[in-house]
Amino acid sequence: MKILLDTHIWIWYLAGSSNLPTQFKELLENKRNEVWLSPISVWEALVLAEKNKISVMYDSKLFTREAFLLWPVKEAPLNFEVALKGKEINLPHKDPADRFIAATALVYGLRLMTVDKRLLSATWLHTIDLL
């Protein structure tokens, strides 16, 4: 399975958070699955750290670089197709990061791993169901 991480899933996995559902952790650690991340999630995590909504032990840029060394994920590049798709899609909210993440999943044919009910409610978006 090709999995695109929502930002909170990436952060929870790196932090070893108990918020991460066990089923998600098992999927992420299964070597048969490909794990992808959008650069938007990196940007979003840096913004959250800057606003002290998440804490990192040291410089957030350095932490992010080290995170990729500890847990290498595939980059789902932000490109023209993702930007165009992000403008076309209809989400029940206006969060630009979510629009880019959803568009990335669509453009690259990835299944989005999220617990965000607003994204899970988008029936046209392929997500990973915990049921």
**pLDDT (tens digit, 9 = 90+) per residue, 86-108?**
999 988 788 899 999 999 999 99
pLDDT band at 19 (very low <50, low <70, confident <90, very high): very high
pLDDT band at 59 (very low <50, low <70, confident <90, very high): low
Q: Which two tokens stand for residue 1?
A: 């399975």
- Against a cut of 0.75, is the pTM above it? yes
d(CA 41, CA 117): 18
Q: Give the mean model confidence (pLDDT) for residues 99-127.
A: 95
Contact status, residue 46 vs residue 60, Cβ threshold 8 Å:
yes
Q: How many Cα neighbours within 13 Å face the side chain of 94?
A: 0
CATH of 2-120, one of 3.40.50.1010, 3.20.20.70, 2.40.128.30, 3.90.650.10: 3.40.50.1010
d(CA 119, CA 79): 21
Domain locations in the chain as residue ranges = 2-120
